[in-house]
Amino acid sequence: MAASAVEILRQQLRDQFPQAHGLRTSPAPSPLLEKPFSVDSFPIGAISEVLPAGPSAGLALFMAGLLDESESVNSLPQLVLIDGADAFDPNSFPGDACSKLVWVRCTSALEMLKAADLLVHDGNMPFVLLDSTGVKRQDLNALPAAAWWRMKQAIERTGLRLVVLATSPLVPCASLRVSLSAGLSLADFDRAQAELLPRVHASSNQLRRAT
């Protein structure tokens, strides 16, 4: 039986574009981040994003894990928290944990972005944590994408780490995206942070388009 015009066209396309007709494989599962609360888990000279994989996924616990990484009082701060919605509660953490923190309180998305830009260009703090989770999504969407790319270039020069906490993808030039899941419920509301931290799981994705 003679081939139909459609089959002939399909064969011509296969011959001309063989790479587009190769076997398609399912994407590999995202690798688990071995140390989700360690500064060293995030690449130097790059922007990383930490996102919730679903409701009650543990963004607050992620911050608690970072602050509780060291049990001793620090003579000098080790990280900067840019608090986009002025929502951080220092009373939820022991004093020795907060001793490693410089808290930059912001009240708008633009103020948050300007603070981040200042810090990454200064380059004196090796780890900057930007919390955008309390900022309205419409205000975050209004931020110019070019500002993130300028920050990426500055971070590559200064060699610091910028980690952005967000409820959905925000940074167009992020090099690493970490997805958190914790499976928390109302029953866990009164539990201690130390008891909940082991339940936070993190999977990571390298973003090739950001290189």
Please write the tens of the pLDDT for every residue from 41-95: 889 999 999 988 665 455 677 777 777 654 445 556 778 999 999 988 888 777 7
Indicate the pTM of the whole model. 0.73
Q: Which of 55-59, 88-92, 114-118, 129-133 has the lowest mean pLDDT?
A: 55-59
Query: Which is it for the CA torsion 160, 166, 168, 172, positive or negative?
Result: negative
What is the rounded CA–CA span in Å between residue 78 and residue 197? 21
Q: What is the domain partition of the chain in residue ranges?
A: 43-210
Q: Rounded to an integer, what distance in angstroms lies between the CA atom of residue 137 and that of residue 109? A: 9
Span 18-51, pLDDT tens digits: 444 443 333 334 444 555 567 888 899 999 999 8
Class of domain 43-210 as given by CATH: alpha beta
